[in-house]
Chain A
Amino acid sequence: MRWSALCLPVTDDASSPTEPARQALAIWALQFTPRVSVLDEAVLMEVEASLRLFGGWPALRARVAAEAPALGVVQLAWAPNGLAALALARAGIEDGLSGLLPARLDPLPLEVLGALRPHRLTLAHIGCRCLGDVRALPRGGLVRRFDRALLHALDQLYGQAPEVHTWVGLPERFEQRLELMARVEQAPALMVGAQRLLLALGGWLAARQAGVTAFALRWVHDALRARAAGEGGELVVRTATPTRDTTHLARLLAEHLARVSLQAPVGELCLHALDVQPLVTASASLLPPDRAQGNVGEEGLTQVLERLSVRLGAVRVLRPVLLDDHRPEAQCRWQPATEALPRQVLPVASGPQPGFLLPQPLRLAMRGDRPLFQGELQLLLGPQRIEGGWWDRDEDAGVHRNVVRDYWVAQSAQAGVLWVFQTRLEQAPAWFLHGYFA
């Protein structure tokens, strides 16, 4: 049995840490093991059965030690049972697994065990300074003089009596609040608090075997605010595929926050999972990862395109969808890369098609009846007559996208192979450059 006690800060003896912070910590701990319980100011978890899943004892221990401080944990301890872990954590000792447990517990002061606290003055008067002194007292006398609960707690602490825990259950919906340490005036600075909530979200998702596709970060403005500022604001972040990778979610959120300007200082944050879908992650492999799979922490194509879309705007990171049309400018529609592509694949259009197409055809100057573009063009192949679009009419703008054109493949000494066309059926027929074969 490997128990961990994760202690949150205590301001004074009487008050316990805030309930949301303890709850966030418990949710985060639930990703490692279902055996999580809350005791006084600490969260206890037992991870023996999960060691292999998280890459072995050293890896799991390092991960817990790395992530816990972000959730406000001030002291962490490992021990063979929960009460001992809590006692060691209160005494500031991290490792309780090596060596004999009684030898480690005996020198600790009386305050580390909650059941001893009411009696610690009496115990001090009879000369008990540490746990070892109390344990050395006769058991019968201890029960008569104090109460049975004290002796039972002492037995549980030393592993001589079984512990009973109430396991923490997982909430059905994820909604966590966080009161910020200080008022925040710049939106990117909200990331510090949001990071803590995202870690809890990652733990909740891992425990539910799910991934998030949309989540909302809400912020509440401070009470001292301008009247026009309103109650607060909200930012909804969506991902293309379900994920519970907190580093990716944090990157996305940071990109979004960089574009937000706060109306008033913010005192409180709230993270809300809007859309959660089941997510099956790949099993860990016995073999070391190869280059194609990449290292841990590297982004895949979907993630990096999502991030580019946030910074540049979704309409500037694009994938093509081919359409069935004769007119070259209507043969393709560019859609945001984060949207799914249609499954249908169109056949290849016949006839020459350039690799680059100008958005607007460029009218060419003429010398006699020959078009000029960086020198005289040599017309090679043609004409390819493209006629159509009488159905494509925009009444509001008064545009009629009907084209009647003769396309030619032309060669220029400087610009390479070009695609030009000559308009027909017009008063002044003209030549236009429409594409580069590149």
Chain B
Amino acid sequence: MSAPVLAAAAAPLLSPCQNARPLLPPSPLPSGPAGGESLVLPAQVAAAVWRGDQLGQPVASVWPSGFAELDAVLPGGGWPGQAVTELLSPQAGTHEWRLLGPLLRQVTAAGRPVLMVGPPRPPHPAGLRHEGLDERRLVWVQAETPAERLWATEQLLRARTGGVLLAWLPQVRAEQVRRLQVQAGGHETPVFLCRPEAALHEASAAPLRLRVGPGPDWTLQVELPKRKGPPLTQPLSLVSVPGGLRNLLTPRLQQPSRLVPSENTDAVVRPVPAGHRRRVLSH
């Protein structure tokens, strides 16, 4: 698209009218999709125009997600700061640390807090330490009712905490998400709202929405139904082994789905029923 402009810039010896020709096409309207040639804009205008089929650049800072495949499809190449990101999943509390572990690790290593509002079940700091998190940076706000969760989330967003905010909001309306998105404009680090998968059918003000579900063999299935750019419908498989298990997996256990689940479910060792074992011991 910008090739004629580049050619003109590289050949400054052409006459002015030749130089000007690519910049000023005869008809300002594009010649149509069949032509394959679209409107040629001046270079600085073209740089400022974001086309819907391209990945946009977020205006704010970007935090690498730790997964190269995910960074490649996220606008700007990472989790956006100063904006809310929605994580939609069929069950809350089944994948959060595996997806956000690398980000939270770098956040706590920088001495910034990780603020959790209303997690579905108590976090276990000993396990989070295996993910590389510094448990001294964790803050757990036990907000129960939807109003409390929203209030606490909003207060933490407005304050100058410098930390990553993780809020589990099972019941939240679109205008409340919009309000949080406005508040997040002053919050430099990423903000994640964990919502049920059913919220996918509602509109949301969050500029980035991810659908996360469990996949086979230590993978997470991630889709991006909304991002600054075309939605990613092809699910992305991210290999994410929980922190404490990384060193314990044998090559066989790397792909447990191959271990013939139909016949031998407890594939590695079949646990002996305790009653049977006691019988053995009593002999």
Q: Which residues of A contact B (CB under 8 A)?
A: 291-294, 298-301, 303-305, 307-308, 311-312, 315-320, 322, 328, 331-332, 334, 337, 341, 345, 348-349, 351-359, 369-370, 376-383, 406, 408-409, 411-417, 422-426, 429, 435-438
A-chain residues with CB within 8 Å of residue B15 when the two chains form the complex: none
- What per-residue 1/0 map shows which CB atoms of B68-80 lie under 8 Å from chain A? 0000000000000
Given the known interface contacts A312-B148, A328-B124, A416-B214, the answer about A424 and B274 at a Cβ–Cβ threshold of 8 Å is yes
Q: Are B142 and A312 in contact (CB under 8 A)?
A: yes
- Contact A320 to B125, CB < 8 A, known contacts A312-B143, A380-B268: yes
Are A318 and B139 in contact, CB atoms less than 8 angstroms apart? Answer: yes
Contact of A355 among B242, B259, B267 (CB under 8 A): B242
Q: Give the contacting residue for A317; candidates B139, B161, B275; CB below 8 A.
A: B139
In whole Å, how far is A326's beta carbon from the nearest beta carbon of chain B? 11
Q: Do A438 and B93 contact each other (CB < 8 Å), given the known contacts A356-B123, A380-B268?
A: yes
A381 & B248 in contact (Cβ 8 Å cutoff): yes
Cβ B245 vs Cβ A437 within 8 A: yes
Q: Which partner residue on chain B sits nearest A356 by CB separation?
A: B121
Query: At the interface, yes or no: B94 with Cβ under 8 Å from chain A?
Result: yes
How near does chain B come to A359, taking the closest CB pair, in angstroms? 6
Main secondary structure of the interface of A (DSSP, over half): mixed
Q: Mark B126-155, 1 if CB is under 8 A from A, else 0.
A: 111111000110111111000010011001
Q: Are A332 and B274 in contact (CB under 8 A)?
A: no
26 contacts between A and B (CB under 8 A): A291-B188, A301-B162, A308-B155, A312-B143, A317-B139, A320-B140, A331-B125, A349-B129, A352-B130, A353-B127, A353-B129, A353-B244, A355-B97, A355-B127, A356-B127, A357-B122, A379-B268, A380-B256, A383-B269, A414-B214, A415-B94, A416-B95, A417-B98, A417-B242, A437-B245, A438-B96
Q: Are B245 and A409 in contact (CB under 8 A)?
A: yes
Whole-angstrom CA separation of A306 from B188 in the bound complex: 22
Q: Taking each of B142, B158, B163, B266, which has the highest tally of chain A beta carbons within 10 Å of its own beta carbon?
A: B266
With A301-B160, A304-B161, A359-B121 given, name 12 new contacts (CB 8 A).
A301-B163, A318-B141, A318-B142, A320-B123, A332-B125, A356-B122, A377-B265, A379-B266, A379-B268, A382-B269, A417-B242, A438-B96
B11 CB contacts on chain A under 8 angstroms: none
Given A301-B159, A356-B119, is A436 in contact with B140 using a C-beta cutoff of 8 Å?
no
Complex Cα gap A304–B143 (Å): 15
Residues of B within 8 A of A359 (CB): 121-122
Assess whether A334 is in contact with B140, with CB atoms less than 8 Å apart.
yes
- Contact at A308–B141, with CB atoms within 8 Å? yes
Chain A residue nearest to B117 (CB atoms) is: A308
What is the size, in residues, of chain B's interface with A at 8 Å between Cβ atoms? 62
Which 7 residue pairs across A and B have the least CB separation, nearest first? Answer: A429-B274, A304-B159, A353-B127, A294-B160, A357-B124, A355-B97, A437-B242
Contacts A301-B113, A429-B273 hold; do A355 and B268 have CB atoms under 8 A apart?
no
Q: Does B20 contact A (CB under 8 A)?
A: no
Cross-chain contact of B248 among A294, A345, A348, A352 (Cβ < 8 A): A352
Does B90 have its Cβ within 8 Å of any Cβ on chain A?
A: yes
B31 CB, nearest partner CB in chain A, Å: 46
Chain B residue at minimal CB-CB distance from A325: B126
CA distance A316 to B139 in the complex (A): 10
Report whether A353 and B122 are in contact in the complex, using a CB–CB cutoff of 8 Å.
no
**A307 proximity list for chain B (CB < 8 A):** 155
Give the interface centre of A312, A316, A319, A437 by most chain B CB atoms within 10 Å. A437
For A423, the chain B residues whose CB sits under 8 A away are 274
List residues of chain A with CB within 8 A of the CB of B245. 352, 381, 409, 417, 437
**Complex partner residue of B127 from A293, A357, A378, A379, CB under 8 angstroms:** A357
From A292, which residue of chain B is reached at the shortest CB distance?
A: B162
Give the distance to chain A from B79, nearest Cβ to Cβ, in Å.
17
> What residues on A are CB-neighbors of B125 within 8 Å?
320, 322, 331-332
Question: Distance (Å) between the CB of A353 and the closest chain B CB?
Answer: 4
CA distance A367 to B74 in the complex (A): 43
Contact residues of B between 140 and 198, Cβ < 8 Å to A = 140-143, 148, 151-152, 155-156, 158-163, 188
CA distance A393 to B226 in the complex (A): 53
Write the nearest CB–CB distance from A253 to chain B, whole angstroms: 16
Given contacts A380-B268, A382-B269, contact A303 B98 (CB under 8 A): no
The answer to whether B142 and A316 touch across the interface, beta carbons within 8 angstroms, is: yes
Known: A357-B122, A380-B267, A437-B97. A319 touches B188 (CB 8 A): no
Chain B residue at minimal CB-CB distance from A418: B94
Among A293, A317, A411, A424, the residue within 8 A (CB) of B142 is A317
Assuming the contacts A348-B129, A380-B253, A422-B274, asked whether A413 and B214 have C-beta atoms less than 8 A apart, the reply is yes
Q: Contact between B271 and A319 (Cβ–Cβ < 8 Å)?
A: no
Interface residue from B121, B140, B249, B265 paired with A319 (Cβ < 8 Å): B140
How far apart are A74's CB and chain B's nearest CB, in angstroms? 35
Cβ-defined contact, B214 with A415, below 8 A: yes
Establish whether residues A355 and B131, one from each chain, have CB atoms under 8 Å apart when the complex forms: yes
Separation of A422 and B276 alpha carbons in the complex (Å): 14
